[in-house]
Amino acid sequence: MIHQFPVRVYYEDTDMGGIVYHANYLRFIERARSDWVRGIGVDQNAMREAGLIYVVRRIEADYLAPAKFDEELLVTTRMHKVTPARMTLQQEVSRAGQPLFRAEVTIVCMTTTGKPARLPAEIRALM
């Protein structure tokens, strides 16, 4: 699957270097993941009430070129691998086709009390 998600750069995203603050790319790609799981029918509010949350386990991120205020960016998300215990996604932030940021993100499932959990089978099926 490939999922695409637009992000506009606002004042809050920039820093005094005049570019997007590096940590904010993680916020951009997390919005894309939430949009994607909502789109395939996963209700994260319901999951959480049932005691399960998604947690980022590992991120490898490369910053290729800076983004600036008011630019419209595109987050492209590709499922790389999914097992009962974890999923790995490849995510890229680009502007007009130019890649600015690339990350490989490993997500695991946890109980809200902090214990490791399996990704629910019906959710893995949706993916």
Please report whether residue 79 would count as binding a second copy according to CB under 8 A.
no
The residue written with tokens 């809050």 in the block is: 12
Q: Output 10-14 pairs: Cβ under 8 A, ≥24 positions apart.
A: 10/69, 11/69, 13/69, 14/68, 14/69
Q: Which of 66, 82, 118, 120 binds a second copy (CB under 8 A)?
A: 66
* The one catalytic residue among 15, 43, 62, 70: 15
Q: Would you please indicate which residues are annotated as catalytic (active-site) residues? A: 15
Q: Which residues form the interface with a second copy (CB under 8 A)?
A: 8, 10-12, 14-19, 21-24, 26-27, 30-31, 34-35, 38, 43-45, 48, 53, 55-63, 65-66, 68-70, 112, 114
